[in-house]
Structure 1
Amino acid sequence: MLVRLGADTVAVRRPEQLEELDGLVVPGGESTAIARLAAPMGLLPAVRARLDAGMAVFGTCAGLILLSDRIADAEALAGFDRIGGLDVTTRRNGYGRQLESFEATLEIGPDREPPRPVAFIRAPVIEDTTSGVEVLAWYGGHPVAVRQGRILAASFHPEITGDDRLHRRFLQMAASAAAARAEGAPVRLAVARGAPGPKSPLSGSSLR
């Protein structure tokens, strides 16, 4: 999705490689698998440090869970680092298990674009937010896309149906981070591809 919008992807395997980035995508997958595989390298605390320093982060599905400050059913993640920073409460698999995955048509404001279908796959439910969290889309009475500062997050997988609205918004956020870092500097992004493997937990991209 980001390549189609103009980004070139490169591999990122170590926490120190986050230092040169203005944006990070934490993707869908299995939140416990991501947390377990990232733990030996201290990767998620390193992501939080870069987030606190101004890096933009976009989390989808499992990424939303790892960014949430509170998880209603956190037993599976007990003892493992998360990223945090997003002032919401989520519930893992809140929309059901794999066989209950579905597509829904959403309007994501304030872009004023026609509603488009997105995919919910074992998706987490956002159970509550605080006043500092902007809700960008709702489904079934719950927020499903939110933004807080340099964090963008969604319960669903926009890339599966080709909906690039949130990706474009994320690139704008990363560009703001780059501008704050150094005037005229190129935007540098990192993108995790699915549940990370032990040798290659993240991949990065640089927007030309």
Structure 2
Amino acid sequence: MSNSNMRIGVLALQGAIEEHVSMTKLAFKSLKLEGEVLWVKNLEHLEEIQGLIIPGGESTVMGRLLETSGLLSAIKKFANESKPVLGTCSGMVLLAKEVYDRVVGKTSQPTLKLMDITVERNAFGRQGESFEEDLEIQLLGEKKFKGVFIRSPVVQSLGDNVKPICYLNGRIVAVQQQNILATSFHPELTDDTRLHEFFLKKVTK
């Protein structure tokens, strides 16, 4: 695939869509790649892209919208064809096989079940308990990455084929499983394009 026709999609059902669009455009520029970023709202849009970003938002609402739009099974097929997917915050929740909540226990919300991980949603507390933390992510180099945590999940357990790529106080906050990446935090709410650049490099491969 030539880089000139690279198209990255941002799932545009709900959540931090525009921030991911802007950050992906900046990552294209930083890597000196030609490409465009599309809003993905239906099956036709999914067919036009080579990589998909699932933003943060309300994971229960997004899961239901994925089901009713037919995108749930289509995104599974997309990822199973080894196309790169990045999920942030509730995007991580939507990628997980199992989801727990501190209050209600195991949830029955619809998820993509693409990653062999169990997550606890809202693991760091509610909206008012949001915080930022400098994170070590070896994949992105020595310089620390500013993690923005807003009602963020945490990975409680993972399968053998899932690699933890970032910890916060001993808790797993970013993982990689082959072509799929997921973070608890919001990389799109920083001015650091490195995570989006890493994702674009996966797409160019």
Q: Does the 8 Å CA contact 1:31/1:66 hold for their aligned counterparts?
A: yes
Q: Deviations over 1:109-144 (max 9, x none)?
A: 133331132200000011112221111110011111
The alpha carbon displacement at 1:159 in A equals: 1.4
| Deviating more after overlay: 55-64 vs 67-76 | 67-76
In the alignment, which residue of structure 2 is the partner of 1:2? 24
Change (3 A) 1:128 1:11: closer
Q: Does the 8 Å CA contact 2:39/2:45 hold for their aligned counterparts?
A: no
The alpha carbon displacement at 1:76 in A equals: 8.6
Residue correspondences, number: 175
- 2:145 aligned to 87, 109, 116, which one? 116
The alpha carbon displacement at 1:75 in A equals: 7.0
Q: Does the 8 Å CA contact 2:120/2:155 hold for their aligned counterparts?
A: yes
Q: Does the 8 Å CA contact 1:61/1:154 hold for their aligned counterparts?
A: yes
- 1:69 aligned to 90, 94, 97, which one? 97
Where does structure 1 lack aligned partners over 5 or more consecutive residues?
177-208
Equivalent-residue separation in structure 2 for 1:110 and 1:10 (angstroms) = 26
Change (3 A) 1:14 1:110: closer
Q: Does the 8 Å CA contact 2:27/2:194 hold for their aligned counterparts?
A: no
Q: Does the 8 Å CA contact 1:145/1:155 hold for their aligned counterparts?
A: yes
TM-score by length of 2: 0.79
> Which amino acid in 2 is paired with 1:155?
S
> Which amino acid in 1 is paired with 2:77?
A
State the secondary structure of the residue aligned to 1:44: helix
Equivalent-residue separation in structure 2 for 1:70 and 1:22 (angstroms) = 27
Q: Deviations over 1:35-71 (max 9, x none)?
A: 1222221112110111111211000000000001111
In the alignment, which residue of structure 1 is the partner of 2:197? 168
Poorly superposed stretches of 4+, deviation over 3 Å:
73-77
Matched, 1:45 2:73: yes
In the alignment, which residue of structure 1 is the partner of 2:168? 139
Q: Does the 8 Å CA contact 1:32/1:76 hold for their aligned counterparts?
A: no
Matched, 1:28 2:53: no
Equivalent-residue separation in structure 2 for 1:48 and 1:29 (angstroms) = 19
In the alignment, which residue of structure 1 is the partner of 2:44? 16
> Which amino acid in 1 is paired with 2:144?
P
> Which amino acid in 1 is paired with 2:159?
T
Change (3 A) 1:43 1:96: same
- 1:60 aligned to 88, 94, 105, which one? 88
Matched, 1:127 2:156: yes
Q: Does the 8 Å CA contact 1:21/1:55 hold for their aligned counterparts?
A: no
Residue identity (%): 39
The alpha carbon displacement at 1:83 in A equals: 1.2
TM-score by length of 1: 0.78
Change (3 A) 1:11 1:159: closer
The alpha carbon displacement at 1:77 in A equals: 5.5
Where does structure 2 lack aligned partners over 5 or more consecutive residues?
1-22, 29-34
Equivalent-residue separation in structure 1 for 2:163 and 2:147 (angstroms) = 19
In the alignment, which residue of structure 2 is the partner of 1:194? none
State the secondary structure of the residue aligned to 1:40: helix
In the alignment, which residue of structure 2 is the partner of 1:179? none
